[in-house]
């Protein structure tokens, strides 16, 4: 081994599940000090997960850590799965950069400050982590169903437009939200690169990689979803907290919302990696106020990278 090699600690967890090898895998670099942006991107590409996170000392001493999030091809300002999983890892290890990690965690991220609350079971182990999406709800362009359908391998009639047309929306990271008519339709969906590339060019003003979040209702306050982000090198994501949060927030604008609503979103079923994402959406004066994303995580591996 060359003398110049550095060892970088990492942990991997499965997020939005209590079952190992289900949910969404995440790599957490628990001490990223000294890594360049290029090295962070290379490490994320090496793991090949939907996201890899890198913990750095906070810029403000009252916060827990600065967290940077990379997909295999780019850095993103916010995502749900990385925050839920990173909070689980840091709360479980108990300290970060020589400081204790409390059950109220604050992450500095590109999208803003992300607040996390930690719940523990009777033995003191971390059971659930809950994050608040950092951004306000922003709603972009609507897309005609006949334009959207070929991008996800469906026909126009497969897309439900009685509540909304396919729409760009974000609470920190932007997605196209698409309601489809049933579970069979959802199972048939998939990205089609040529029409999706044309859509991305047509809607370039949205400054979005055109990740698509398709969903259908399977019960009151219970949805099944799938997410495709081929331009981020994510063929399909087993769990997408940021997209779920965007959907929960967006729904408050198309119906009269209660002061507080709870949604359960299942994702990853078609991939054999069932995930459970729980949302709490709050409104104030009949307008969106905040959305929280909750989930469990389970440790899979720990080790060292050689840089």
Instruction: Give the catalytic positions in this structure.
Output: 51
Q: Name the residue with tokens 């054999």.
A: 272
3-state class (DSSP) for residue 116? strand
Q: Name the residue with tokens 């059971």.
A: 127
Our CA dihedral for 231, 263, 23, 224, rounded to 10 degrees, sits at -70
Q: Name the residue with tokens 């907290």.
A: 241
**Cβ atoms of 236 and 226 closer than 8 Å:** yes
**Cβ atoms of 54 and 68 closer than 8 Å:** yes
**Cβ atoms of 52 and 68 closer than 8 Å:** no
Both structure tokens of 94: 């108990």
Instruction: Tell me the DSSP string of 182-221.
Output: SHHHHHH----HHHHHHHHHHTGGG-----EEEEEEEETT
Contacts of 73 (CB under 8 A, 6+ apart): 41, 45, 232, 233
**Cβ atoms of 307 and 35 closer than 8 Å:** yes
């Amino acid at each position: 081994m060359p003398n110049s090699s550095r060892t970088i600690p990492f942990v991997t967890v499965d997020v939005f599940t209590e079952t190992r090898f289900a949910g969404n895998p995440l790599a957490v670099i628990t001490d990223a000090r000294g890594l360049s942006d290029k090295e962070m991107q290379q490490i994320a590409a090496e793991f090949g997960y939907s996201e890899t996170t890198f913990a750095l000392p906070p810029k403000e001493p009252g916060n827990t850590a600065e967290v940077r999030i990379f997909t295999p091809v780019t850095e993103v300002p916010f995502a749900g799965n990385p925050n839920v999983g990173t909070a689980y890892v840091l709360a479980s290890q108990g300290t970060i950069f020589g400081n204790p990690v409390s059950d109220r965690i604050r992450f500095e991220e590109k999208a803003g400050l992300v607040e996390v609350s930690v719940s523990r079971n009777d033995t003191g182990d971390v059971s659930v982590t809950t994050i608040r999406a950092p951004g306000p709800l922003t709603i972009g362009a609507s897309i005609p169903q006949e334009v959207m359908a070929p991008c996800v391998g469906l026909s126009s009639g497969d897309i439900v437009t009685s509540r909304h047309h396919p729409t760009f929306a974000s609470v920190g990271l932007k997605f196209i939200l698409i309601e489809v008519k049933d579970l069979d339709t959802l199972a048939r969906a998939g990205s089609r690169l040529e029409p999706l590339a044309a859509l991305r060019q047509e809607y370039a003003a949205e400054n979005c990689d055109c990740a698509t979040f398709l969903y259908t209702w399977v019960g009151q306050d219970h949805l099944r979803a799938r997410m495709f982000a081929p331009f981020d090198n994510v063929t399909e994501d087993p769990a997408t907290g940021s997209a779920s949060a965007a959907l929960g927030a967006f729904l408050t604008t198309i119906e009269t919302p209660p002061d507080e609503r709870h949604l359960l979103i299942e994702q990853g079923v078609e991939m054999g990696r069932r995930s459970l994402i729980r949302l709490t959406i709050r409104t104030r004066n009949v307008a969106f106020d905040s959305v929280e994303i909750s989930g469990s995580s389970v440790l899979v591996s720990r080790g060292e990278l050689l840089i």
